[in-house]
A and B are shown apart, each in its own frame.
Chain A
Amino acid sequence: DVKVTQSSRYLVKRTGEKVFLECVQDMDHENMFWYRQDPGLGLRLIYFSYDVKMKEKGDIPEGYSVSREKKERFSLILESASTNQTSMYLCASSLMGQGAPGANVLTFGAGSRLTVL
């Protein structure tokens, strides 16, 4: 089974702290994504990456940065956490390709619930 593992299930941080959310996938997927999920707003794309060291902004990148030094690992960084970043964060990965079996199907991690006090 494809596995996407998020390092922390629950985190509580203080305003102004630097926060790292780690995501690792074990299926050699090219694409990796970070979403945040808030009630009534669904899943909003923060950043995605289609290759090592490559990153693209999604719809809500402000206040976040990402790092992809290895193909299997995609990290989300909150340089200075704020209370409005309290949310559920979901990492996902997918195989690149058009028409290939399983291509572009997202597999999600279990999520990291971040509370910023």
Chain B
Amino acid sequence: QQPVQSPQAVILREGEDAVINCSSSKALYSVHWYRQKHGEAPVFLMILLKGGEQKGHDKISASFNEKKQQSSLYLTASQLSYSGTYFCGTVDNYGQNFVFGPGTRLSVLP
């Protein structure tokens, strides 16, 4: 049921880029991305609703390939504030059965 994420963890230096992948065995209506900083609740980053859609937020962007049931999160020129655990989430057509992947822990070092 849970989507699969890769990698499990990544360590970067400030200014480097990273890609986090999310895939599901189920047909996807939408993909959500959340970030959780240590000791805090997860916070919404973005939703991708359509096949092939790409969205961006500052230097974080994502793509969604509905046919392949995959999504990728792109972090460019990473900043220290990007550190945290990133979760992809998938939801059914009714927006109700919302399940998350196991998370990717991102550490950005100075």
Q: A residues bordering B, Cβ < 8 Å? A: 31, 33, 35, 40-45, 48, 50, 56, 58-59, 90, 92, 94, 96-99, 103-111
Bound: A105/B47 CA distance, A: 8
Note all chain B residues with C-beta closer than 8 A to A44: 2, 99-100
Contact of A43 among B30, B42, B44, B93 (CB under 8 A): B42
Complex contact A48–B42 (CB within 8 A): no
Residue of A nearest to B104 (CB): A42
Beta-carbon contact of A56 and B96 below 8 Å = yes
Chain A residues with CB under 8 A of B30: 104
**For the complex, is B84 an interface residue (Cβ under 8 Å from A)?**
no
**Selected A-B contacts with CB under 8 Å, 22 pairs:** A42-B102, A43-B87, A43-B100, A44-B99, A45-B100, A50-B94, A59-B99, A90-B41, A94-B95, A97-B95, A98-B95, A99-B49, A104-B91, A104-B95, A105-B44, A105-B47, A106-B32, A106-B34, A108-B42, A108-B43, A109-B41, A110-B40
Q: Are A103 and B95 touching (Cβ within 8 A)?
A: yes
B-side contacts of A42, CB under 8 Å: 2, 87, 100-103
Q: Nearest Cβ distance between residue B5 and chain A, in whole angstroms?
A: 8
Q: Kindly list chain A residues whose C-beta atoms are within 8 Å of the C-beta of B100.
A: 35, 42-45
What is the chain A residue whose CB lies nearest that of B44? A105
Q: How far is the CA of A33 from the CA of B91 in the complex (A)?
A: 12
The reply to whether B47 and A48 contact each other, CB–CB distance below 8 Å, is: no
Contact B32 A31 (CB under 8 A): no
Partner of A106, one of B2, B40, B44, B93: B44
Beta-carbon contact of B98 and A33 below 8 Å: yes
Minimum CB–CB distance from B50 to chain A (whole Å) comes to 10
Interface pair B96/A48, CB less than 8 Å apart:
yes
